Chain A
Amino acid sequence: MRRTVLLIVVLVLLITPLTGCWSRKELGDLAVAIGLGIDKTDKGYRVTVQIVAPSLAAASSGGGTGGPPALAVATESVTIMEAVRKLTTMLPRKIYLSHLSILLLDEATARRASASRWISCSGIMRSGLTSIWLSSGKGLPMMPYPL
């Protein structure tokens, strides 16, 4: 009886490290994306991501009047997903899209079925949180401050 109980306790304790803290992400390792812009280019897509930079906030102590400081990074690749993934190589942190509040598309992207499928199926959109904007011109215009 006591042996069994001990065995169960040991097993339960072993599970804890065995999971390797699956899907654990510390806040310090995340780059929270609040805006995402997608433009159709000749090569494929140009993806611009606007992320909140807490380190800038720490430097300017509070971010001043305009809310949290943000910076934009852009990459270009054949598919949207590839471009998003590529962003990670340019930033020290992992891009975190769950809090995306603005998705900015140009007309060419919006008209493409594959692009809209990616947008609806990739899980980056959160209903009620993300709003989709369309830009008429080519090239990514200045992304408005979303918060």
Chain B
Amino acid sequence: MKFHDQDVNQHEPQQQCLYRDSRANAELICSRLGNSSDVSVRTLHLNRGHSGREMVIRIIFLDGMVNNQVLEESIIPAIQAAPPATEDCSLPEYFSNHVLSAGQIKTAGELSGVVKDILSGCALLLFDGCDQALSLAIQGYEKKGIGDTKTETVIRGPQEGFTDDLGTNITMIRRRIKDERLRIVTKSVGRVTQTDVSVVYLEGMADHEVLKQIELMFEELGLKTVLEGEFVEEYLQRDKYTVFPTVFNTERPDSIAAGLSEGRVAIMVDGTPFVLVVPSLFMDFIQSAEDSYQPYLFSSLIRVLRLVSVMISIFAPGLYIAITTFHQDLLPTRLLLSIMFQREGVPFPAFVEATLMEITFEIIREAGIRMPRNIGQAVSIVGTLIVGQAAVDAGIVSAGMVIVVAITGISSFVIPAYNMSIPVRLIRFLFMGAAASFGIYGITVGFLIMLVHLCSLDSAGVPYMRPYAPYLKKEQADAVFRSPYWSSTRNKRSRRRA
């Protein structure tokens, strides 16, 4: 929805400093925030016995953004109980050094700076007769707790997933990588949303080129709103005319920890549990976190199975079309006859039939994702009974076609990364078209074009099809086949010992 096309924050306000009067400052800040109803100003009058002068301290904060308990039980009593300041230091300095117990305190004197602090959940302390203010980082908004991963479930392995809160997510990474080289660089992007985006990497492991590229991307990023990783991801994928994803995203802290220790760079956006990883290669989208937590033989087989599934979900409908309309001699006689009998009475050519069914399946899939949970039953009944059984009985599609569409659909669910199943779904239709006009020859040429395209891609400078194109022997340990953790290709130290 777009109400205003023009930027809300168009003109950068000129630097304005705070007054020396706390009431004037409070009014200034309140009016800057449009006297919004959640802006609270708390005025404390401190009676100073010996000087006889009453001192006023104002606390400005946003309701719900600060931790009320800290404010009420620690900050305010501390200020009220504070002994009079000695003359040799300024009030903010005195309070931050001797009175307040909050963790992060900083002094600020510039209006837009303090407004930004308030907006990010700090409590601002204004003093009478002083043009400096103190901002206390006592953020305490309601946030979702750490829960299970929703999109990448595993049978064995870590169960917790990232949350919507950036701070919590960074902690989850810190807990997994206790290495002093871990670097976290946070920037706020989005002119309106001021979203915190953290770049996380291991110093010395991460490629400088990649870091430079990310830095460049942040400079180019001129968005008004940044609400999810995709806003950043599209900038990273710029100049790449492809349907394949070159940025991996995951909500599993263990996947991120593994990626970081391999020298990848993670980009975390506040407000979403999905963390981006660059560089990401084709094989990353075929691998699941669970592969590392199951026996290596089993994991390797499962990965082969996944690759086969990718192939099936790209080629199955195309092959069905090609074989039934061009290469009937490829089928065993009985199978050909059985398909013929099924298709008897189907009014459409195979291509139209396949397209019809594939689109129907995509509609059911989209409905399944988008609809409210409690009407899920209805859609599955309609999906299976109406589209499956009734369409065959009515002679609109053949039973064989339903089987092909079903196996195609199921295969595409095997792909662990959702953003990889999207290009697979798209390409499927291209292959169907190629099959309908050229037969298996069309599929072959199409496959070659796809392969060349995949090999031409790169993710942040790393060839997309690595370690296969270029072929790197020492990286084969964790590509399609996962070698055991004790194997010599994986671990140089064990080889030396042996």
Contacts and interface: CB of A to CB of B under 8 A. Distances in A.
Interface residues of B, number: 24
A99 B344 contact: no
B328 A68 contact: no
Interface in A18-73: 19, 21, 23-28, 30, 32, 34, 52, 54-55, 57-58, 63, 68
B437 A52 contact: no
Interface centre among B325, B337, B433 (most CB of A within 10 A): B337
B437 A19 contact: yes
Interface string A73-114: 000000000000000000000001011010000000000000
Given A19-B437, A30-B340, A55-B344, A147 B333 contact: yes
Interface in B438-469: 438-439
B333 A23 contact: no
A129 interface: yes
A17 B437 contact: yes
Contacts of A96: 328
Contacts, number: 72
A4 interface: no
A122 interface: no
A16 interface: yes
A54 B325 contact: no
A26 B333 CA distance: 16
B350 interface: yes
Interface residues of A, number: 27
B326 A57 contact: no
Interface string B228-240: 0000000000000
A12 B333 CA distance: 35
B252 interface: no
Contacts of B83: none
A85 to B, nearest CB: 19
Contacts of A30: 328, 340
Contacts of A147: 333-334, 337
A58 B395 CA distance: 11
Contact of B336 (A19, A28, A32, A63): A32
Contacts of B434: 16
A52 B340 contact: yes
Contact of B333 (A19, A27, A99): A99
A25 B325 CA distance: 5
B437 A27 contact: no
Interface string B333-355: 11011011101111001100000
A80 B158 CA distance: 73
B324 interface: yes
A52 B344 contact: no
A58 B350 contact: no
A72 B439 CA distance: 31
Nearest to A129: B333
A52 B339 CA distance: 12
Contacts of B344: 28, 54-55, 57-58
B7 interface: no
28 contacts: A17-B437, A19-B438, A21-B436, A23-B326, A24-B326, A24-B437, A24-B439, A25-B325, A25-B326, A27-B324, A27-B325, A27-B328, A27-B350, A28-B344, A32-B333, A32-B336, A54-B337, A54-B341, A54-B343, A54-B344, A57-B344, A58-B345, A63-B341, A68-B337, A98-B328, A99-B328, A99-B329, A147-B333
- A-B CB proximity, top 3 nearest: A98-B329, A54-B344, A99-B333
Given A25-B325, A129-B333, 9 more contacts: A17-B437, A25-B326, A27-B328, A27-B339, A52-B340, A58-B344, A68-B341, A99-B328, A99-B336
Interface of B: 324-326, 328-329, 333-334, 336-337, 339-341, 343-346, 349-350, 433-434, 436-439
